[in-house]
Structure formats: structure tokens, C-alpha cells
């Protein structure tokens, strides 16, 4: 085959859609063994994502960011590790985060692909006589 590029990529200066430029996750876990042989575990995670587009266009109405979301849990483990009870909370900082957006203006628009197959249909000028 000829005419197919050896490699493809995103040119410098082009923003990649649906991808934040910066993403940061921090996680912490603290385990405490109790005198009765059980244990308590405290855990938390914090997430940040810079603003990014939910669609492939640059419309700011279809963008999102994660401005610092905190999740956490507290677990109690019984002696002998027979049972574990966990209380957890998500988005403890009560931040609004958009996780999906769809721009229906481009619903019927097709984006080109690097390896589109070519299909040709030929129609005879006159129908066959039979």
C-alpha cells in the first residue's frame, strides 16, 4: 500500500480534545492497629483536572474541570480480619463537576480518519433489458 503515512500524531500547538493539560491525584492512607487485634483505616484521595473540552470543538459551554474533589473513607476491621465495615463519602468538598457534554449541532457531522476505505458505486446509464 502506498500513500499511508508511516506515523500520525497531533501537531504542536493543537489542543487535544477531551484531555486536561494537567491532572493531579493525591492519596493518603493511615492504618491503626487496635489493642483488641482489630484495626481502623482512614483513607482520602484528592483529584484536580485543569479545564478541558468535552467535545472536539472549542465552545466553552462544553468544557469541564475538576477544581479539587475530596473523597474519603473510615474502615473498622474486626479481630482476626473476619469482618470489615467501611463508611465512605464522595465529593466531600461539594464541588460541581461536569462529566459529560454533547453538542448536537455537530450530530450529523463526520470527522475524517486517516485510513478511510473508499467505496464506489456505479450505476449503468440504461437499465438492462430482460
69 inside domain: yes
Average pLDDT for consecutive 10-residue bins of the chain (130 residues)?
Answer: 63 73 94 97 94 77 84 94 92 82 61 47 54
Structural domain span for residue 79: 16-115
Indicate the pTM of the whole model.
Answer: 0.60
8 inside domain: no
10 inside domain: no
Count of domains in the chain?
1
Q: Which residues contact 42 (CB under 8 A, 6 or more apart)?
A: 29, 30, 32, 72, 73, 74
4 inside domain: no
128 inside domain: no
Amino acid at each position: 500500500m502506498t500513500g499511508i503515512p508511516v506515523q500520525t500524531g497531533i501537531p504542536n500547538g493543537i489542543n487535544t480534545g477531551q484531555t486536561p493539560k494537567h491532572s493531579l491525584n493525591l492519596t493518603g492512607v493511615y492504618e491503626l492497629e487496635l489493642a483488641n487485634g482489630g484495626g481502623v483505616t482512614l483513607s482520602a484521595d484528592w483529584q484536580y483536572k485543569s479545564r478541558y473540552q468535552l467535545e472536539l470543538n472549542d465552545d466553552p459551554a462544553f468544557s469541564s474541570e475538576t477544581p479539587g474533589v475530596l473523597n474519603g473513607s473510615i474502615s473498622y476491621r474486626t479481630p482476626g480480619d473476619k469482618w470489615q465495615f467501611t463508611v465512605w463519602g464522595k465529593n466531600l468538598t461539594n464541588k460541581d463537576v461536569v462529566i459529560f457534554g454533547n453538542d448536537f449541532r455537530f450530530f450529523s457531522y463526520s470527522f475524517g480518519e486517516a485510513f478511510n476505505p473508499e467505496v464506489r458505486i456505479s450505476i449503468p446509464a440504461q437499465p438492462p433489458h430482460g
